[in-house]
Amino acid sequence: MPRLLLHPAAKPLLFVLALLPFAWLVVGAFTDGLGANPAEYLLHATGDWTLRFLCLTLAITPLRVMAHLPALARFRRMLGLFVYFYVVLHLLSYSWFDKGFDVADITKDIAKRPFILVGFSAFVLLTPLAATSFNRAIRALGARRWQALHRLVYLIAGLGILHFFWMRAGKHNFAEVAVYGAIVSALLGWRLLQFLRKKRPLPMLVMRRQLSKQ
């Protein structure tokens, strides 16, 4: 597995696989394969793929640590950028098909409908993360500030689930929301446990400190 992950073709293959949902939507749009309401289908599909890629991105670190596969880290940046790619498509689908790129109408809708405000807020917060996902940005910001900025992904994940929940609340359909919510909660819960373990001194270390004071 480590050899496969480090293979030169691994990243191009992941890039092609990540583009397949987009290609499928494009083909469906040109072949009338998106159902009776193509605009609504595109809006929902791009939102779903945004959440899926967000979950994949958040899963990289837990999988890397638990499976002892440090090479997985090389795919995290690409997956994170695909989160932004699909959320941009989601926003364009809403702005184009639902609002006809009417900026005034979009602004009023964002202010009036909480679930759209939450989704737009997640997009705004995700933008600086995508803009700084490059080595030059890391060097410019410094590792500590860059890491602090990219911790916004936890807040973004929560806003994404809340946006999805409010969107489905009108139809009382929470099955998919529960699945995504459980995945995101498990991934963020794992990170919280790792953080607490780092902050909590090991028993042996505490004992040594006590003995050194005597």
* 69 Cα distance to chain centroid: 21
Share of the chain above pLDDT 90, in %: 76
Confidence of residue 204 (pLDDT cuts 50, 70, 90): very low
CA distance linking residue 148 with residue 153, whole number of Å: 10
Q: What is the dihedral of CA 117, 120, 125, 127, to 10 degrees?
A: -170
Identify which of 119, 109, 133, 38 has the alpha carbon closest to the alpha carbon of residue 86: 119
* 94 pLDDT above the threshold of 90: yes
Note the pTM of the prediction, 2 decimals.
0.89
CA distance linking residue 5 with residue 170, whole number of Å: 43
- What pLDDT is attached to residue 145? 92
* 213 pLDDT above the threshold of 80: no
Residues 125-151 have pLDDT tens digits of 999 999 999 889 989 999 899 999 999
CA distance linking residue 171 with residue 67, whole number of Å: 39
CA distance linking residue 125 with residue 118, whole number of Å: 11
